[in-house]
Structure 1
Amino acid sequence: MKAYYWESHHGNFGDDLNLWLWDALLPGFREVHPEILLVGVGTVLNPVLLPAGQKKLVIGSGYGYGAPPDVRDASEWDVRAVRGPLTAEKLGLPPEKAITDPAAMIADMPEFRNLPKIHRKTFVPHWESAEFGMWAAVCEPVGLTYLDPRGEAKSVIRHIAQSELIVAESMHGAILADAFRVPWIAVSTSRSINNFKWNDWASSVGTTYEPRYVPVSTRAEAVAKRSRFWGMRFDGQQPAQEAAPEVHGDDVMTRTSPSQTGLRGMAKQFLAAPSVLALWQASRAEPRLSPNDVLEERKERFRAMLEGIRRDYF
């Protein structure tokens, strides 16, 4: 088999963990049935992403974008598990197919067990926030350690496991925190975010997704997210009377000489002040954890499902 995953130019640890996770959960899967595509971690159940005419073994993937695939053709689809009940309902699957995200199983891997706590509070943004925002600078006055989700997957996961609290805009930041029993707080920098995949996962482990809103940190981030920055809208409906600081690329420009980089940096920090305040407030909210018994029951069901795949394919 070959494992499918969404490969991005920027990197994203939640997708990239497919590169090694299945070697741990299904040792030897690469040597059997080369005609079959293993579809695992990710919001990838979309006919635009997955090739037609090829058998697909679905293990814990989620729906979230575009049209849902028609998975009724057994010659092309073997759906053993999906991320949560919302995906199961969308695809017309029985409720027992909704187990949880496969990333929950990582906490049981020997290399991630019993790691010492070395980070007090960590912020894991969405990859898009990391790409266009200035969140490392925002985290400093808040007292949070910044963790870039575009980093090497195992390093990101170890950092999450070694934290005492996770503030997560990244869904897999919360999933991994929950798996390692690290309390987590959800935040969002866009009021128009697609909540489907978060609610899908959260409901699978008996918790809820209620994110705290944090404004974007730069104009470039607002443009990328079609959001607001200091009253200016970047969704194609910008009122003529609204104004915002002049920006060149990702630099906030003051009306001074281009050589005055210190002043530009100060201006950027000033303009990110609403992000600092909101993230500080969010980091002091009541954190969440899924119930221990629910998470363990889902993991046991996942193990049983994997055993069924071994019997049928190996």
Structure 2
Amino acid sequence: MDPYYWESEHGNFGDDLNLWLWDFLIPGFRDVHRETLLVGVGTVLNRVLLPEGRHKLVLGSGFGYGTLPDMSDSREWDIRCVRGPLTAQKVGVDPKLGIVDPAVMVAEMPEFKNLPKKHKKSFVPHWESAAAGIWPIICGTVGLHYIDPRGDAKEVIREIAQSELIIAESMHGAILADAFRVPWVAVTTSNSINSFKWNDWAQTVDVTYRPRHVPVSTRAEAIAKGARFWGIGFDARQPALEDPNKRQIDDSAMVAVRDPKQTSLRVAAKQLLAAPSALSLWQAARATPQLSTDHVLAERKERFLDVIESVRRAYL
């Protein structure tokens, strides 16, 4: 059995954790049923992503982009559970199968237990914000620890677990924070953030997705997202994609952001232009955070483990 995950060329820890999470949850799964594709963490129930004609075992995946594949043939699809009730409704399965995002189970891995706290407050942006913005600089300005979602998945997760508060534009930043019992505040920088998938997960643990708006930090970020920057609106330079993870960040727009030879005057100018972003992020760090109850999260984990046990009986 092979684990499927979307491998972003930018890097995205929420997808990359598929590389090792399933070895913990279903030891030995790689050695059996080579014809089966294990479709797990991620918004990957998408017609253009999953191959036709191959048997697929769905464990906690979500819908959110593009068009659903035809999942009606039980000979090709074994749908044991999906991310949440909104995905279940879209797929047309029992809402009870919308259990939780499997990423919550990372907190059960021994290597992530009892980690010491190192960071008071941390910010986890969406990968697109990380690619085109100046969020590390802004975080330094407002006293936040910056966590790059494009980094090594295990290191990103450790930094989340070792924080006392998470400000999350990345959905899996919030999911992992909640799993590690770290209070979190949701933020968004543009309409390109997918609220469907956030709400899909949020309903499983009885929290509400109510993101605080934080303006984009650079012109390059506004161009990438089709957002406004200092009153000037930008149209996204690319058409809508079946999978937004395939969006390219315009290299010409990025030069001013990543050029190490910038003068101190230019850096200061960028920081000045990003002042609204800094203020909004500072305010978000002082907002009332959310956290699901221990009881609700434990109940969802137990239901997911029941599904894993059924998979072990059927496949191993």
Shorter chain as denominator, the TM-score bin is: over 0.9
Q: Is the 8 A contact 2:119 2:163 kept in 1?
A: yes
Residue 69 of structure 1, CA deviation: 2.2
Give the structure with higher Rg (CA).
1
- Give 1:250 deviation, angstroms: 4.1
Partner of 1:29: 29
Residue 164 of structure 1 aligns to a residue whose secondary structure is coil
1:269 aligned to 265, 271, 278, which one?
Answer: 271
| Counterpart AA for 1:139 | C
Compute the displacement of 1:135 (Å). 0.1
Does the CA-based 8 Å contact 1:191-1:213 persist in structure 2?
no
8 A Cα contact 1:251 1:268, kept in partner: no
Deviations 1:150-170 (A, max 9, x none): 000000001100100000000
AA of the residue aligned to 1:183: P
> Residue type matched to 1:281 in 2?
Q
Following TM superposition, by how much is the alpha carbon of 1:292 offset from its aligned partner in structure 2, in angstroms?
1.3
In the other structure, the counterpart of 1:244 is: none
Task: Quote the Cα distance in structure 2 between the aligned partners of 1:67 and 1:171.
Answer: 21
Question: Which residue does 2:296 correspond to in 1?
Answer: 294
The amino acid across from 1:308 in the alignment is: S
Q: Is 2:286 the partner of 1:281? A: no
TM superposition shift of 1:95: 1.1
Secondary structure of the equivalent of 1:185?
strand
- Give runs of aligned pairs for residues 187-266 of structure 1, distance below 5 A: 187-235=187-235, 249-251=254-256, 261-266=263-268
Partner of 1:82: 82
Paired residue for 1:309? 311
CA distance in 2, matches of 1:114, 1:31: 32
Offset at residue 183 of structure 1 (A): 0.1
Partner of 2:133: 133
The 2-side partners of 1:225 and 1:310 are apart by: 42
The one-letter code matched in structure 2 to 1:251 is A
Tell me by how many angstroms 1:193 deviates.
2.8
Is 1:104 the counterpart of 2:109? The answer is: no
Shift of 1:191: 3.3
CA offsets per residue over residues 86-107 of structure 1, 9 Å max, x none?
0000110101111000000111
Alpha-carbon distance in 1 for matches of 2:229, 2:40: 36
CA distance in 2, matches of 1:301, 1:23: 19
Query: What RMSD in Å do the two structures reach over aligned CA positions?
Result: 1.5
In the TM superposition, what whole-angstrom CA distance separates every residue of 1:20-78 from its partner, at most 9, and x where no partner exists? 00000000000000000000000000111000000000000000011122222001100
Query: Are 1:157 and 2:162 an aligned pair?
Result: no
Give the CA deviation at 1:262.
1.5
Checking the alignment, whether the CA contact within 8 Å between 2:132 and 2:254 is kept in structure 1 is: no
Q: Note the C-alpha offset of 1:6.
A: 0.2
CA contact (8 A) 1:188 1:213 kept: yes
Aligned-pair CA distance for 1:288:
0.2
Q: Which moved more, 1:51-60 or 1:61-70?
A: 61-70
Q: In structure 2, give the amino acid aligned to 1:203.
A: Q
Aligned equivalents of 2:131, 2:230: Cα separation in 1 = 20
Q: What SS does the corresponding residue of 1:131 show, helix, strand or coil?
A: helix
Q: Secondary structure at the match of 1:74?
A: coil
Paired residue type of 2:301:
K
With 228-237 and 115-124 compared, the bigger mean Cα shift is at 228-237
Aligned residue identity for 1:284: R
CA contact (8 A) 1:219 1:250 kept: no
Q: Secondary structure at the match of 1:120?
A: coil
Task: For 2:105 and 2:144, locate their aligned partners in 1 and report how far apart those are by CA, in whole Å.
Answer: 27
Aligned AA for 1:267? A
Aligned-partner Cα distance in 2 for 1:272–1:251: 14
Aligned length in residues: 299
Match of 1:71 in 2: 71
2:164 is paired with a residue whose SS is strand
Structure 2 distance, partners of 1:110, 1:163, is 18
Aligned match of 1:169: 169
Listed one character per residue, the Cα deviations across residues 192-228 of structure 1 (whole Å, up to 9, x for unaligned) are: 5320000000001111100000000011111110111
CA distance in 2, matches of 1:192, 1:170: 12
Partner of 1:146: 146
d(CA) in 1 for partners of 2:210, 2:310: 35
Which residue of 2 is the match for residue 256 of structure 1? none
C-alpha change, 1:176 and 1:236, in structure 2 (3 Å) is closer
| TM-score, length of structure 2 as denominator length | 0.92
> Aligned partners of 1:280, 1:248: CA distance in 2, in Å?
26
Residue 10 of structure 1 deviates from its aligned partner by: 1.2
Q: TM-score, normalised by structure 1?
A: 0.93
After superposition, the Cα gap between the structure-2 partners of 1:236 and 1:207, relative to the gap in structure 1 and judged at 3 Å, is closer
Counterpart of 1:47? Answer: 47
Q: CA deviation at 1:111?
A: 0.6
Q: State the shift of 1:142 in Å.
A: 1.1
